[in-house]
């Protein structure tokens, strides 16, 4: 009976994903990026991202804000879809609630994945960014959710934006398909 109870507990517990596989396509980048997610640092944010990915919400979402030497931002499942009005991209989230900040001591180095948010530290929802270069000024100010483990060459090729806010002009590169990995 003890083994059966233990098996039930394992089956009844939510399966924690360990990563994402992001297929990117566009004028700049074409390929796959693998991300290791940090459930120990940001369990609520990782749960939100994996739920959105598992539901197909990130499929067809563009990299709307890309600043050379800084980061590439995506994940606006409300206004950031391929073919949508790109003037609104970056202003939306998802139908899930915003998340309380889960700040950590993990540094925003090259390849780190962080959650985008508004001025309110507790406003992260669906948008995230991948660092091109270290951004120590973000440390302790934004939630770290993961690290690129393969495909930084694909990230480096993402079509860059213009101006100080990095808005991508024309057709931005997009996440064709985002898959949750174990």
Fold of 19-181: Cyclophilin (2.40.100)
Spans of all domains in the chain: 19-181
pLDDT at 164: 76
Residue 111, class by beta-carbon neighbours within 10 Å (0-12 exposed, 13-18 middle, 19+ buried)? buried
Q: For residue range 157-180, what is the model confidence (pLDDT) as tens digits?
A: 999 999 778 999 889 999 999 999
Q: Give CA–CA dist 114/45, Å, rounded.
A: 10
Q: Give CA–CA dist 22/28, Å, rounded.
A: 15
Picking from 77, 85, 71, the residue whose alpha carbon sits closest to that of residue 127 is: 77
pLDDT surpasses 50 at 119:
yes
């Amino acid at each position: 009976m003890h083994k059966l109870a233990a098996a039930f507990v394992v089956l009844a517990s939510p399966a924690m994903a360990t990563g994402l596989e992001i297929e990117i396509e566009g004028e700049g980048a074409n390929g796959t990026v693998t991300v290791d997610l940090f459930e120990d640092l940001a369990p609520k944010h990782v749960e939100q991202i994996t739920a959105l990915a598992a539901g197909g919400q990130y499929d067809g979402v563009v990299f709307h804000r890309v600043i050379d030497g800084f980061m590439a931002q995506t994940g606006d499942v409300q206004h950031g879809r391929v073919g949508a009005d790109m003037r609104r991209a970056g202003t939306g989230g998802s139908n899930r609630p915003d998340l309380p900040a889960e700040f950590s001591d993990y540094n925003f180095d090259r390849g780190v994945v962080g959650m985008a948010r508004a001025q309110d530290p507790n406003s992260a929802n669906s948008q995230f960014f991948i660092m091109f270069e270290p951004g120590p000024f973000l440390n302790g100010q934004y939630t770290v959710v993961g690290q690129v483990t393969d495909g930084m060459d694909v990230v480096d090729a993402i079509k860059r934006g213009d101006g100080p806010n990095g808005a991508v002009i024309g057709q931005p590169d997009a996440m064709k398909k985002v898959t949750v990995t174990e």
